[in-house]
Every structure is written in structure tokens, then in C-alpha cells.
Amino acid sequence: MLKTSQWALSACACVLSVPAIADGFINDSHADLTLRNYYFDRNYVNATPQAAAREWAQGFILNVRSGFTEGPIGFGLDAQGLLGMRLDSSPARTGTGLLPYDPATREPANEYSKLGLTAKFRASQSQLQVGTISTFLPIAFASPTRLLPQTFRGAYLKSQEFENLTLHVGWLDRINLRDSTNYQKMSVGSPNRRFNGAAESDRFTFVGGDYAWSPQLTLKYYHAELAELYRKDYLGFVDNRAVGPGSLKSDFRLFISGEDGAAKAGPVDNRNAALMLTYTLGAHKLGAGYMQLTGKTAMPYLFGTEPLVITEGTLSSEFLNPKERSWQVRYDYNFTALGLPGLNGMLRYVSGSNIELPTLGGSDLTESEKDLEVSYAVQSGPLKDVSLRVRNAWYRNDFTAQASHRDDNELRINIDYTWKLW
């Protein structure tokens, strides 16, 4: 990320040369340090080339954010420092996404670090970021699910000039993966050999926005292109409203994907429509969802990111194979109702069928996953705000190709604490 730092600094050198920096640049700044201890254990039940992916690591995430200078165009600067340290691993157990490793020997690194700078400019209700950025959008969701977060290099404009409308425009040219120390060109996520994962692109562009139609209903539309690989349109809505003694959340998502330019990753032809309904009553949440893929291929998404479909949060699969149809049920409980504030639990079952993977066993294949999660945040005392999350998953499929037929059990444990420096 040092290259990004130099790029961001050169982009804003003319602004920094101004001798008078307004009080807001310093007085409105803030910083925090997150300590994250992460244990990842994926045990493969069947005979596979690797028996398990199992590592334990300690992460440090430092974020320093300035305020903005005065004037019609305010300037600010953000810095992010990331450090990951190996606590336990071996060449036979790499591949968890916690630690980088040597591809030739599979020897995991003892430690790795990243540094990124972001120049930011504010005018009226719009803000432009240049340098190291993170986007959390349906078409580019930076993954936060390992030891250190994944980031991009590029430019990102967020504008709220119009009432009830938030616009997003971006241009990205590199991605820094969760377990990497450097930026690289972007590619398509390709589990089960869905696409040519070796094909690369140096330009991802997007535009879209969220419109609050009413206090209950938000409409969303985004268009994105990964140059020479794929294009994608997203349409969706989220509706929250009172129903009986509780509330009902309706979350609809439609992705329409096709080829872009030379289609170096191979053919792309997919529609993915999904609806998730969640009813909340007191401490209880009960959800049910259905997702159906049509077209000739799977749904493409940026390698290293989260696809942000309704099966998000599943641990071992994303249920995005060609022609796949999946349904899920989910139950969440807040133990505050039993006098245990800070304690939450979740159960989920996801089943996928009608999968077509000719190279991995044919058609009408199936997969399923069961998830159990318990989290707790300390509410008071010297350990206040320390959070613990334990997640267990059981994944099964009937793909016949040895490299993709997986019955695995997965355990993740992470302990987080964020210390507000100022």
C-alpha cells in the first residue's frame, strides 16, 4: 500500500502547500485502534488435497481521520495502518485468508503490514476520496470478514446534494486482498471453475444511488463494469414497516450480469433475483429467503470481495452456481430479554439445488449449509466493549469432482476491542 500512499500524497500536494490549515483539520480529527484476535479452522471431512485450513493470528487496525479545512472546498487526509501477526500456522494448514504465504512452499508469513493514505475533499454535501478506499455497495463490497480488511485503490465520490438521494460514483484500478501486502489487478471470483479466474482488469467503474422514497421504503440502483470482463446492474429495495405487534423487513435484490468488451473471463450471462423477509417481534427475528439464478453462467463478482446476495454471512459458500435455486430460514435472538444484555445468537439453514456444473459432476447438483453463531459484547467494567464472536458452520455438497466435492466443518472465533485514541 506504500504506492497508494505516494499516489495520494502527490494528488493533494498542492493543497498541503497552503500555509494556513483551518482548526477543523485538527480539531475534528479522530483516531481508533482495533485489536483483533482471530482463530479459523476449516476441517475437510472427505479426502481432499489439503486436510484442513487452520490458522490463528493477531491483527492491529489503526485508523486516523482528519477533519476538513475551512473554505468552499475543504481538504482532509485519512491514514490506515494494518499489521497482522502469526500465532499458529503451518504449510499444511494455510489458505484461511488470515495470513499470506509463499505459493511455492506454502510457508505462512510471520507478520505482514499495510499502510494507506486517502486524500479527501468536501464541497457542500459531496465528498471525494482519492487513494486507499473502501466501498460497501451491492456491486463492490470490501470484505471485512478476516483478520485485516480488504481495500481498493482509486477515487470515490459520494454526494447527498438532493433530498433523500445518495449518489455513488467510483473508479478503481487495483485491489488489496485481505491476506496480501500489495495491490494487484482485479479479477472475477471463480470457485468451482465458473470463470477464467486468471483474467485480469485494471479498471472497475460504477455509478448508482439509494433513494428514500418514504421513511419505510428505500430504492436502490447501481451499474458497474469490470473492464473487458463483465458488467452488472443491480436493482433492489428495502422496506421496513410495522405489521401487527412487530415489524416486517422486505429485502429484494436483482442482479443482471453480462459480458464486457473482450470477455476475457469467459461468457457471462446471469440474472439473480432474491427476496428475504424478516419479521421482528421483541427479542426474536425470524427470516425466510429465496434466491434463483437464471442464464447460462454463474453470477460474477470481484474476487476478494463479498457478493452481497441474501445468503451473505454464510461461512463456506455463496450459493451462486449456474441455475442454482436456494432457500433459507434464519432465526436471531437478543438475550437482553432474559437479562443478558450484549449476548446474541443466530441459527440458519441454507439449501441450494438445480446446480449445473458440467465440469464438476453434471446437473441437478445440490449444496447446503447450517450456521450457528453466538456473540457477546462486554457492557461494563474494565473489559467494556470487548466483543467475542463464535461461528460454526457445516457445509455439504454432492459435486463429484474431487477438488470441489466438499464436506467441511468450519469454526471461527474472533475477539475484537476498539480503543478510541482521541
C-alpha cell belonging to residue 415: 475477539
- Domain 214-422 sits in CATH 2.40.160.10: yes
Q: Which of 246, 302, 312 is nearest to 276 (CA)?
A: 312
**pLDDT computed for residue 401 by the predictor:** 58
**Burial class for 38, CB neighbours closer than 10 Å (0-12, 13-18, 19+):** buried
**pLDDT computed for residue 76 by the predictor:** 96
Whole-number Cα distances in Å, 200 to 77, 255, 284, 305: 30, 22, 45, 15
**pLDDT computed for residue 405 by the predictor:** 60
Q: Is the dihedral of CA 253, 232, 135, 329 positive or negative?
A: positive
**pLDDT computed for residue 18 by the predictor:** 46
Cα separation, 229 vs 187, in Å, equals 8
Strands (DSSP E) found in 66-150: 74-88, 111-123, 126-133, 136-137, 140-141
**pLDDT computed for residue 14 by the predictor:** 42
Question: DSSP label at 190?
Answer: -
**pLDDT computed for residue 47 by the predictor:** 62
pTM value? 0.91
Cα separation, 224 vs 138, in Å, equals 10
SS3 assignment, position 384: coil
pLDDT tens over the chain, length 422 residues:
444 444 444 444 444 444 445 568 998 999 999 999 999 999 988 766 788 899 999 999 999 999 999 989 999 999 999 999 999 999 999 999 999 999 999 999 999 999 999 999 999 999 999 999 999 999 999 999 999 999 999 999 999 999 999 999 999 999 999 999 999 999 999 988 899 999 999 999 999 999 999 999 999 999 999 999 999 999 999 999 999 999 999 999 999 999 999 999 999 999 999 999 999 999 999 999 999 999 999 999 999 999 999 998 787 789 999 999 999 999 999 999 999 999 999 999 999 999 998 776 678 899 999 999 999 999 999 999 999 999 999 999 888 654 456 688 999 999 999 999 99
Amino acid occupying residue 356: E
